[in-house]
Structure 1
C-alpha cells in the first residue's frame, strides 16, 4: 500500500490482538512520532509504552481514577478492561516547554501529530491501531500517575496490535462540504 492510499483509507480498528509491534517495527513507530512537526525543536512529547504487566498498571491507573471520581462499579470495571483491548498502549504526552514563540497549544498539536504519525507507521508495517482519548486524558489522578507537569497534557492513548477483524469501510466525504477559498 502506498502512502497516499494508506492515508486515504486509514481507519481506526477497535479490535486488536497479539502480536504487538516490537523490535525494529516498534522503533520505526517511535521514530515516526519523533518526526512530528516541531516548531523551535522543542521535542514537546514523550511516549509511555504499556504491554504485558504494563497493561495491568494502566488498568489500575484507569480504575483508580474512576474510583476517586465516584464512578459506579460498572464504570470502574470498564476502566479496568479498557487497556486490555490491545496488546500495546502508547500514552502520548505533550511535555510543554516555556517558549516565547511556541505556545502550549502548538506543542499539544505537535504531540497530536506524533500520535497520527505513529499510527500511520504501524499501519504501514502491517499493524493496526486506534487513537483513544476521553475523560482520562484530563483526569488529575491519571495525570499524576504519569507525572505530568502543570502545562503538560496527555493527548491520547494509541492502542496497537494486529488486526482482529476486517476494517470497516471508510466513510466517503465530499470535500466541498469542508473547504472554502479566500
Structure 2
C-alpha cells in the first residue's frame, strides 16, 4: 500500500507559475537558493549523465544581459516590441537560474533523453521555488535560442543550450487560475 503525501499532491494540483513581471525583491539569497537547486538536481537522469547545469543570474548581472539582448535584437532586425520584451525579462529580473542543457557523448543514452531531463530540471526548480513560498516563472523566448546571445551572455559551449530561465523572487499577487486541459480529451486508457 502506498504512503500518500496529500500536501504534496494538493500543491501539485493547485500550483501556478507567477508572471515574471509581477515578481519583486527580495529574491532568494544563496543559502535559500541552494536547497531549490538541490531539489532540481534530483530530476530523473537516464544514465546518470547530469546533462544540465545551472547559471545563477543575480541582480547585478541583469543590466548586462538586458544590453546584450537588445544588441542582438537590433542585429536580428527584431521589432521594437520584441526588443522591449527581450530586455524586460532581465530589466525586471531580480534573480534567474539559467538551466543549461549539456549534451554529453553517450552510446547508450539518446540526445533527446538529455533534452527531456533538462526540461524536467526546469519544472523541478520551478516547483521547488513555488513550494518554498517564492514566486517563480519559467521563461525562454528567442534569446534562449540565439547562439550569439547564449555565447556572449552565458559563455555557453557549442554542445550547450538554454533549456529555460527560471525567475525567482517575491510574488506581488497570486494570478487567477487559467483554463486547464480537458483530461478526457487528452487521455486514453489501454488495458489489453
What TM-score does the superposition give when structure 1 sets the normalisation length? 0.91
Unmatched tracts of structure 2, length 5 or more: 1-5
In structure 2, how many angstroms separate the alpha carbons of the residues matched to 1:155 and 1:149? 14
Residue aligning to 1:179:
187
Residue aligning to 1:46:
53
Residue aligning to 1:158:
166
Count matched residues: 182
Q: Is the 8 A contact 1:20 1:161 kept in 2?
A: yes
Listed as ranges, the matches of 1:72-111 within 5 Å are 72-111=79-118
Q: Is the 8 A contact 1:133 1:155 kept in 2?
A: yes
What is the DSSP-based 3-state SS (H/G/I as helix, E as strand, rest coil) of the residue aligned with 1:4?
helix
Q: CA deviation at 1:172?
A: 4.2
Q: 1:131 aligns with which of 129, 135, 138?
A: 138
Q: CA deviation at 1:58?
A: 1.7
In structure 2, how many angstroms separate the alpha carbons of the residues matched to 1:57 and 1:48? 15
Deviates more, 1:24-33 or 1:78-87: 78-87
In structure 2, how many angstroms separate the alpha carbons of the residues matched to 1:35 and 1:29? 10
In structure 2, how many angstroms separate the alpha carbons of the residues matched to 1:172 and 1:68? 38
Q: CA deviation at 1:131?
A: 0.5
**RMSD over equivalenced CA pairs, Å:** 1.8
In structure 2, how many angstroms separate the alpha carbons of the residues matched to 1:173 and 1:71? 33
What is the DSSP-based 3-state SS (H/G/I as helix, E as strand, rest coil) of the residue aligned with 1:177?
helix
Unmatched tracts of structure 1, length 5 or more: none
Deviates more, 1:34-43 or 1:22-31: 22-31
Q: CA deviation at 1:170?
A: 4.5
Q: CA deviation at 1:127?
A: 0.3
